[in-house]
Structure formats: C-alpha cells, structure tokens
Structure 1
Amino acid sequence: MTISTTLTIIGSLNVDLTCRVHRLPSPGETTGGGSLTRQPGGKGGNQAAAAARLAGAARMVGAVGRDSDGRLLTEALELVGVDVSAVKQVSEPTGTALIVIDSDGENQIAVASGANAFVSLDRAGLSDGGPVLAQLEIAVETVTEAARRTTGFFALNAAPARELPAELLERCDLVIVNESEYQLIPELRNAKRVAVTYGSGGASMYAHGVRTAHAPAQKARVVNSVGAGDSFCAALVLALASGLDEESSLAAACAVGAAAVASELSQPEFARLEHYLDGRALQGA
C-alpha cells in the first residue's frame, strides 16, 4: 500500500527558540547551563512537514512576516515537499515560540503569535475534495470559515483547548486532542468522532463518547515531545483519509509519535507512512 494523499494544513508557523536545560525552572527561578537552538516550528508547520514526509506532499495555509524567520520557515517546508503558495507574507513579525526542555523531554512553551493572527484563506483552495487539518493557534473564526469551505474530510486538532463553536464541531469529521484537552472541552463527549491521546497509555477513538478503537503506545526514549502530537495528528488524518480502519490508523499514528519524541527536532524526519503500518493494515488495504 502507498499513501499518496495530499493533506492541506491550515494553521500556525513559528520559529522555535529552544533552550535545553537539566531541569525546568520554577516560577521566578533562573536555570543556567542551557544550550540554545533556532528551528522551524508551529503546530501548523510541524503538521505540514510531517505530512509531506509521510505522504510525499502537503499544502500549507498560513502567514509569516517579511523577515528572515519567515524565509527560514517557508524554505524549510519547501525543502521537504510542502506547497507554500498559500502562505501569506504580512508586515507583522513571524510567530515565535520560546521553549524550555529538560533532560526528560518535558517542556514549557510561551508563544508570540505575530503573523499567525493574519492567516488568510484567499488562496487556500479547499474545494478540491482533499483532506484538511486545522488547529487553534490561529483565529477560531478562520478555522470555522475553513470548515465551511472544505468539501472533503475536515479534521481539527483542538489545541490549545478552548470552547468550540457548535457549527465548527458539527462540521468536523475528526477532532484530535490529548487527555487534558478532552477534559477541558466537555462538548467533545457528543462529537461524532474524537481521537484522544494518553501518552504512555496510547490513543483511543470515540464516537459520541463511546470508545470505538484503541491502540497502545510504542516504547521510545523521550528526547523532545514538542512536535510529537503534531506528527501524530498528520499521520492519523492521512491514514483515515486513505481508507484505513480506526485501529490501524491509531496504531500507525502512535508509531509516528514514538519516532517523533526520539528526535530533537520539532519537525522530525520520518519514513513514508507505510513504514509505520502493521501487517494486518497492509493486508486489509
């Protein structure tokens, strides 16, 4: 089986300024001895890079500043096969995430949205029937309008957690959240299809609050968990949009997430998605 679906991502693009320290600082505390890196990130950018690596192509709808960071982000996406023709350049500075990661891979993140507040759907091209994945690091009004315009499979990574408009939730073919976000958004109990990640507890699929599928987590040495959830989202949407069943799709997404946490990068390198499918999934495809 070959996964060749082109996934369109609508969301944030940030440059990640990451400081690695032995332990995370407490409020008001300074932790020294860190090492600093600057790399492409943002939930949207991470998901687009993962989708392109897993399926060979992806499209990004977002916004960056007319600055060196904006060029860094778009060039990095183009390099891995992402179409960035719908990434708008604006006068605001490119979004920035300040990230602190400890020796166990745990993190603290603060984000300055910058250009992400100006994402436009003018060149989004959402009427081709292809799958679309959005998140909530951009304006929820933009996400809701994207859901209206999308003629194919529409998925929402409801992060950061917030109250969701009824129209948006009703349109979603899939909502993806982690365990904490599932608790913070009670309306998801009535959603038609929700995937919930539980860290070392794997991931489950729910329909109107009833579990319909589950996949265990795969063991991995955690180096950096920043991009793991984004990689999981891209893999799950690609698998489901390609016709795989829920259990096989969750298992493949968990395998991709495990590969992601073992990398220091917010946008890790991956093999094609077929590499992460088990034999049963391949036989049924």
Structure 2
Amino acid sequence: MGNSAKADAANGARIGRVTVIGSLNMDLVARAPRLPRPGETLAGHAFAQVPGGKGGNQAVAAARLGANVAMIGCVGDDSNGATLRGSLEAEGIDCTALATSASAPTGVALIVVDDASQNAIVIVAGSNAQVTPANIAAHEALLAQADVIVCQLETPLDTVRSALAAGRVLKRTTILNPAPAARKLPPDWFPLIDYLIPNELEAATLSGVMIETPDDARRAAQTLKAKGARNVIVTLGSQGVLALLDGADEAGVHFPSPNVEAVDTTAAGDTFVGGFAAELARGSAVTEAITFGQRAAAIAVTREGAQPSIPHRSEISA
C-alpha cells in the first residue's frame, strides 16, 4: 500500500484498487534549447536517467494519488529492470505480476526536452514486448480485485485487448490511454472501453478529425463514442480537457486547464490518467475525477522528469 493510500486508510477514507497493465522503461532524458532537426547534432545542457514508461508512470501516479495499485508488466534481467522494480515497490505497488525476461533487455525511452517544455520521444520496447495474453490470464485475480483497470499501447496489442476483454467479463471499469496511437483501433475494441483517454494527436489519429481547438476535440470525441467507447476524454494540454460522457450532454463538457508555468510536459498525460483512475476507483463522480486528474497534471508539468514530477495526494488542494 502506497503512502497516500496508507494515509487515507488511517483517516477512514475509501481506498480504490487500480490494476495497470503496461510498459516500464528507463527514461534517458536530455534537455536542449530546441528539438533537433533531421541529421542535426545539438549541444544539450542537462541529462538524467529516471524510471518511466507509460504503464509505470500511470501506476506510480495512481499510487501517489491515493489508490492501492498492482502492476502487470515485464522488465529485463538487468540493472535497469532491478531499478524499475525497486522504484515501484518503494511506492507500495504490488509487483507480484511483474515478470523478468531472461532474453530481452528492459525497455528504454530516449527523450529530448526543449526550453519550451516540448518533447520528442523514441521508445525501444525490449521486455515490454513480452507481456502476453498468457500474463493476463495468469493474473486474472488482480483484475478481479481491481475497481479500475488501466491499459496503454506500449505493450503488444493482443495483450491490451485481452486485458480489456477480461475487464469487461469481470465487470470492472476499463480505461484505455491509446498511446502511442500510430493507427486506428480495431472496431471490436471500442465496446470494451469505459473511458478512452487520448491526447489531441492520438484522438486525431483514431478519429480522422484534425484537432486544434476544444470544438475540434468535441467532434473527434463524438466520432470515437459513436464507435462504441462508453466515455471519451480528450486531453488538450494547456487547453484543458474535452469530455463526452455517457448519459450527459452530447456536446460534451470542456474543463479548462489550471494556469501554471510548464517546465516539462513528459508525464503530464500519465499523471492525469493515474489521478483520474485513482479518484474514480475511490467512488468519486467522473467530473470530480477529471478535475482531480487535471490538478495533479498541473503540478507535474512544473517539475522535471517523468515519475519524479508526479505529485502525492497531499499536494492536491481540496
């Protein structure tokens, strides 16, 4: 149990359970004045090596923001894998379903962050590619215990679908953060998703609607909801969030972003997803969970790094 969850337990608050299926990477982060052009070499001014991966980031976010969390994933039998496992365990995350590959190295992400806080990322999957549907079947108990199941697209697609399908059979709330979205999702995925949470680029890829404004995001969300997703929440960075919710206004609801000065946006989306999942698992209303996730993400972007930037529940104002 993470520190935030322990504090909630001591105060008698309800603690939700979140199971995350996803990637674990060691992030190699270079800061430079701007992002390099093709063929260009730039002089950077800082470097850091920190735990990351969308699955790991979202698990840490959910744990710090108040949930009991279990992680289903795979690391390599190397120093990076040992570090990533240790960092999750230090957050109180259940790692009994975190496998160790004897044949593939731990995944890595090469990240460049510019002085405007924008980033470019290259991911080498490594052991993340060895998270299989068999892993999902072997750990069905962790899915059954969860209030919320969270997936992304940095592990094999058949594994992600297996997890979403298992969540549907078990009648658990499912979240898919479709990142990275290099292509459209298969049609039979959408009915398995309770909350589809893409950013503007991912929503554009999945819907075919180019997004520059909240109105564009609304049209994209309507397209994706028509495909069968129960709820669609499009994150728009500094423009906030556009949510098209089940049973609500078909025009959707726009949630403006808190006004902060961004330093590094690397884990902003992951912090939002983890915070949203944690709050939803506690039994909060969807709109409250969205606002909570936004507050957490707003703090994260004021700090450098992926997991180091993720706040604890005690830092979120009431």
Using structure 1 for the length normalisation, give the TM-score. Answer: 0.91
Find out whether 1:271 has 2:317 as its counterpart.
no
SS of match in other structure, 2:180: coil
SS of match in other structure, 1:82: coil
Name the CA distance, whole Å, in 2 between partners of 1:33 and 1:169: 42
Please give the residue correspondences for 1:80-99 in structure 2 after superposition, counting only pairs within 5 Å.
80-90=91-101, 91-99=103-111
Deviations, residues 117-138 of structure 1 (Å, cap 9, x unaligned): 0013223531225211000011
1:3, CA displacement in angstroms? 5.3
CA RMSD, 1 decimal = 1.9
1:115, CA displacement in angstroms? 0.3
State the one-letter code of the partner of 1:166: P
SS of match in other structure, 1:229: helix
Structure with the higher strand share, 1 or 2? 1
Tell me if structure 2 keeps the 8 A contact 1:216–1:254. Answer: no
Tell me if structure 1 keeps the 8 A contact 2:17–2:281. Answer: no
State the one-letter code of the partner of 1:195: I
Cα distance, 1:33–1:154 mapped onto 2, change above 3 Å: closer
Name the CA distance, whole Å, in 1 between partners of 2:121 and 2:291: 28
Structure with the higher helix share, 1 or 2? 2
Find out whether 1:155 has 2:175 as its counterpart.
yes
Tell me if structure 2 keeps the 8 A contact 1:147–1:171. Answer: yes
Q: Which residue of 1 aligns with 2:278?
A: 238
Percentage identity across paired residues of the two chains: 37
SS of match in other structure, 1:185: helix
SS of match in other structure, 1:18: strand
SS of match in other structure, 1:12: coil
Cα distance, 1:244–1:229 mapped onto 2, change above 3 Å: same
State the one-letter code of the partner of 2:194: D
Gaps in structure 1 of 5+ consecutive residues: 279-285
Please give the residue correspondences for 1:182-201 in structure 2 after superposition, counting only pairs within 5 Å.
182-186=203-207, 188-190=224-226, 191-201=229-239
Please give the residue correspondences for 1:1-285 in structure 2 after superposition, counting only pairs within 5 Å.
2=13, 4-90=15-101, 91-119=103-131, 120-121=135-136, 122-125=138-141, 126-150=143-167, 151=170, 152-161=172-181, 162-186=183-207, 188-190=224-226, 191-207=229-245, 210-267=250-307, 268-272=309-313, 276=316, 278=318
State the one-letter code of the partner of 1:254: Q
Gaps in structure 2 of 5+ consecutive residues: 1-7, 208-222
Using structure 2 for the length normalisation, give the TM-score. Answer: 0.82
Cα distance, 1:129–1:16 mapped onto 2, change above 3 Å: closer
1:214, CA displacement in angstroms? 2.8
Name the CA distance, whole Å, in 1 between partners of 2:204 and 2:118: 21
Tell me if structure 2 keeps the 8 A contact 1:131–1:153. Answer: yes
Name the CA distance, whole Å, in 2 between partners of 1:277 and 1:157: 25
Matched residue pairs, number? 277
Name the CA distance, whole Å, in 1 between partners of 2:199 and 2:235: 5
Cα distance, 1:84–1:124 mapped onto 2, change above 3 Å: farther
Cα distance, 1:57–1:245 mapped onto 2, change above 3 Å: closer
Tell me if structure 2 keeps the 8 A contact 1:132–1:155. Answer: yes
Tell me if structure 2 keeps the 8 A contact 1:216–1:251. Answer: no
Name the CA distance, whole Å, in 1 between partners of 2:175 and 2:50: 26
Name the CA distance, whole Å, in 2 between partners of 1:248 and 1:56: 16
Tell me if structure 2 keeps the 8 A contact 1:3–1:238. Answer: no
